Amino acid sequence: MIKIKNVRKIYQTGVVETHALRDVSLEIKDGEFVVVLGPSGSGKSTFLNVVSGLDSVTSGHIIVDDEVITDMSDKELTNFRRRKLGFIFQSYNLLSNLTVYENIEVGKNLSHNPIEIDELLEKIGMTIEKDKYPYQLSGGQQQRVSIARALAKNPSILFCDEPTGALDETTGKQVLEVLQRLNKELNTTIVIVTHNIAIKDIADKVIHMKSGEIYEIEDNQQKKLVEEISWS
Ligand SMILES: Nc1ncnc2c1ncn2[C@@H]1O[C@H](COP(=O)(O)OP(=O)(O)O)[C@@H](O)[C@H]1O
Ligand SMILES: [Mg+2]
């Protein structure tokens, strides 16, 4: 469970103050599939960065599984992120001199309670590609490997910042399919931030952001399968 209470984030650059988050409050339940939707500059990445402890808040509280992360020292936060959280970004950040299998192994080595690599390869549909190097893979395949790497340590929450941002619709949907399956089969809480409105239909909960504020929280009663959505 994630509890976000009255969070504000102000960036100060010289004399300019940017109110990136203005009094944001929200709860995310375990196993929920959450999509944070908003235009560029609305504060989505800031939201994800503070909720995952990558960045500090200006005021307010964030509690993840009864741990108050806004009270933690840098060292405690690093440890907390390592234990509990996985991250996916628009860029895949795979190690180019390691194979698919070895890249996933990097994630696995971070945990005392890892998921077997063969199981993950199957879940991302890349068992036969396991000995390939990143340059031998498409963008969508590389993103699926980065998902497996993030999940190898069995995090309770996976944060994804524009995970399909660099992909065409077909490969983007393959990536979302993997996320949907992992959410269902491993019960991993998934938080995706995106400006792509089509993605909202696969969420349990849609957070609409504008100018640093949440202006609507939608509970999606009829969530769709990835194969039922399209954005072209
Ligand atoms: N490190 C930073 N320093 C100063 N301003 C920032 C920083 N990061 C983001 N901002 C500003 O905060 C606002 C929200 O940005 P961001 O969270 O990246 O939005 P989004 O991800 O929705 O595009 C923008 O006005 C952006 O310019
Ligand atoms: Mg962003």
C-alpha distances in Å from residue 57, one per residue of 70, 91, 114, 139, 159: 7, 25, 31, 33, 17
162 C-beta neighbours (distance < 10 Å), count: 19
- What is the mean pLDDT of each successive set of 10 residues along the chain, which is 232 residues long? 98 95 97 97 96 95 95 93 90 94 92 88 94 95 93 92 90 91 93 95 97 96 94 82
Q: Which of 18, 36, 52, 215 to mutate to test the pocket of ligand 1 (most atoms within 8 A of CB)?
A: 18
Atom of ligand 1 nearest to the CA of 48: 17
> The tokens 């996985």 sit on which residue?
86
Atom of ligand 1 nearest to the CA of 21: 14
Q: Thinking of the domain 27-57+66-228, which architecture would CATH place it in?
A: 3-Layer(aba) Sandwich (3.40)
Q: Which residue puts its alpha carbon closest to atom 25 of ligand 1? A: 41
Domain locations in the chain as residue ranges: 27-57+66-228
How many angstroms separate the CA atoms of 56 and 115, rounded?
30
C-alpha distances in Å from residue 37, one per residue of 49, 154, 201, 214: 15, 26, 11, 10
Q: Which residue puts its alpha carbon closest to atom 18 of ligand 1? A: 45
- CB-ligand 1 contact for 232 (6 Å cutoff): no
Give the H or E element holding residue 100: helix 100-108
| Polymer length in residues for the chain | 232
